[in-house]
Amino acid sequence: MRDFATTEARLDITIAKYPAFPRQPAIVTRLVKHLFKEINDDANAAMRRYGLNHPEYNILMMLYGTPDNSLHPSELADVAGEKSANVTRLTGQLCDKGYIVRSGSEDDRRKVTLTLTPEGVEAIEGFLPDIVTLLHRQTRNLTSDEQGQLEVLLKKMLGGFGE
């Protein structure tokens, strides 16, 4: 995204042609799209040297964020924002790489438990320094306060979906 000023211009033209088009909501959603694409491309590039892509990284981190390094596929789909069919594929890849293992659960035999292996944890802790740098870079234009404000607003907006 070079120049967001032209976005304003495009919106002006759009509204001139179609006055009911809501300016503010359109700007916000377009900004979110652009930001996501940047974050995504950035993370993909960073993870490349580790033989992982952004969704795989995401999956690993969601598991790492649990006390016992494990989640069920449906939970994973939910927290990682991936479709369940995609989780099956992604976790399959990560199994092949030896970073996670699949096991059935006794309490509910429909469920599968996905758990990080020691190699998985090692891999995570290997790339985390790069990720830390990345995250700081991605938010470098915002003060801590502003990040806090952004958090509040994004959560609020997110709350409007899904019911």
d(CA 6, CA 80): 33
49 sits near DNA (criterion: CB under 7 A): no
Return the number of the residue (76 or 124) whose C-beta is nearest DNA: 76
Q: Which of residues 57-76 bind DNA (CB under 7 A)?
A: 72-75
74 sits near a copy of itself (criterion: CB under 8 A): no
117 sits near DNA (criterion: CB under 7 A): no
Return the number of the residue (104 or 154) whose C-beta is nearest a copy of itself: 154
160 sits near a copy of itself (criterion: CB under 8 A): yes
- Nearest CA-CA partner of 102 in 129, 65, 63: 63
d(CA 107, CA 112): 11
Return the number of the residue (32 or 105) whose C-beta is nearest a copy of itself: 32
Within 18-162, residue ranges assigned H as helices are 23-48, 54-64, 73-80, 84-96, 118-138, 144-159
**Token digits for 130?**
């790069």
Chain contacts with DNA (rule: CB under 7 A):
37, 40-41, 44-45, 53, 55, 72-75, 82-93, 102, 108-112
